[in-house]
Amino acid sequence: MISLRYHIVSIAAVFLALAVGILVGSTSLSGRLLAGVGNERQSLQVQVDSLNAERTALKAQVAAADRFNAAVGPMTVQGQLAQRSVVLITSADASEQQRDAVSQLLRAAGADVTGEVRLGQAFADPSRADQLRSVVTELLPAGVQLPTAADPGTLAGGLIGPLALLNPQTGQPQTGDQERAAAFAGLAGGGFATASEGLRPAQLAVVLTGGRIEGDSAGDKAATLARFATQVDRAGQGAVLAGGAGSADGTGPVGVVRADPAMASALSTVDDLDSSSGRVVVVLALREQADRQAGHYGFAGSAQGPVPATRG
């Protein structure tokens, strides 16, 4: 006769065997899983190392190409702006290094760089828009007529354009020297713009900006700069608006111009000012403006291509 004790021992033995089986099975499965994860990790690490090496090689190639472009840039643009005069206009976020590089290329192209207008931090500040409108109206020289648009960028371009550029029909200054000096003194007093000493009006203008504009007021700031550059273009023989990475986005002034057919039909833009090749394109685009043509260049999706056709 089988006793109760025997039943208990038998049941315990069954559960013990089941537990041992589960333990052995799970240990074997865990080992296989760990081995698989280890192999996958090793494979991913190999891919990461390969991509890092590829990125390093590409960065080296880009740096070498940029150095090459910087070296041949002056030869590429030689004679493109002979007997042309150019004024530089820089926004508050424009790089001094890029400004100096563009200035050197303009001179290498044969241009007479007549001076620089630097826009202050207050220029594109939406909280100072009403003050900018008021100052522009007060400083307007006799004989200069403001555009009918009421936005601060267009109005400021309606003042600074005639101050910095020659009349495109007559080739003569649009204001007197004293009127020009007084207007720039007033703009400087408000923190809106300053002119370099001895600034002379030019035929063409290059407007340099930074890249993407950040912050809550980014759209308003970009629109102010875009409309300003467009009005400057209308005041002389032509202008180019150039910015760095991100400038062709919706919150960049180049992007604002390209999204507006009325602006884009007249003003030229370049979106890769932070590369040596982009700065060469600024000069070539300005030559195109001198020939009464407009284009949009760089590597953003809104660009027509990387470079305009070079003319001899």
Question: Helices (DSSP H) in 190-243: which residue ranges?
Answer: 218-235
- Determine, yes or no, domain membership for 309: no
Report how far residue 44's alpha carbon sits from residue 155's, in angstroms, rounded to the nearest whole number: 58
Per-residue model confidence (pLDDT) at position 147: 93
Residue 141 belongs to some domain of the structure: yes
Mean pLDDT over 190-207 rounds to 97
At residue 214, the pLDDT reads 87
Predicted TM-score (pTM) of this structure: 0.79
Same domain, 88 and 48: no
Kindly state whether residue 302 falls inside one of the protein's structural domains.
no
Q: Are 117 and 192 in contact (CB under 8 A)?
A: no
Q: How much is the pLDDT for 250?
A: 85
- Residue ranges making up the domain that contains 16: 1-76
By C-alpha distance, which of 173, 133, 167 is closest to 153?
A: 133
Average pLDDT over residues 31-43: 71
Query: Are 72 and 92 within one domain?
Result: no
Residue 247 falls within a domain, yes or no?
A: yes
Residue 302: other Cβ atoms inside 10 A: 16
Q: Write the burial class of residue 228 (CB in 10 Å: 0-12 exposed, 13-18 middle, 19+ buried).
A: buried
Residues 86 and 70 reside in one and the same domain: no
Decide if 311 is inside a domain.
no
Task: Judge if 25 and 128 occupy the same domain.
Answer: no
Same domain for 216 and 117: yes
28 and 137 fall within a common domain: no
Question: 247 versus 8: which is more confidently predicted?
Answer: 247
104 and 22 in a single domain? The answer is no
pLDDT band at 7 (very low <50, low <70, confident <90, very high): low
In a domain, 305, yes or no: no
User: Which residue among 27, 60, 76 closes a domain?
Assistant: 76
Q: Give me the number of domains the chain comprises.
A: 2
Domain boundary among 54, 76, 98: 76
| 155 shares its domain with 67 | no
Q: Are residues 105 and 243 in the same domain?
A: yes
Type of residue numbered 20:
V
Residue 198 lies in a domain: yes
Same domain, 149 and 238: yes
- Shared domain for 124 and 189, answered yes or no, is yes
Give the range among 21-35, 71-85, 222-236, 268-282 with minimum mean pLDDT.
21-35
Calculate mean pLDDT across residues 256-262: 96
Task: Answer yes or no: is pLDDT of 248 > 80.
Answer: yes
Looking at the predicted structure, is the pLDDT value of residue 68 above 50?
no
The residue out of 76, 93, 113 marking a domain boundary is: 76
pLDDT of res. 251: 85
The string of pLDDT tens digits covering residues 131-178 is 999 999 999 998 899 998 889 999 999 999 999 999 999 999 999 999
Are residues 66 and 129 located together in one domain of the fold? no
Question: Which conformational region is residue 202 in: left (phi greater than 0), alpha (psi within -120 to 50 degrees), or beta?
Answer: beta
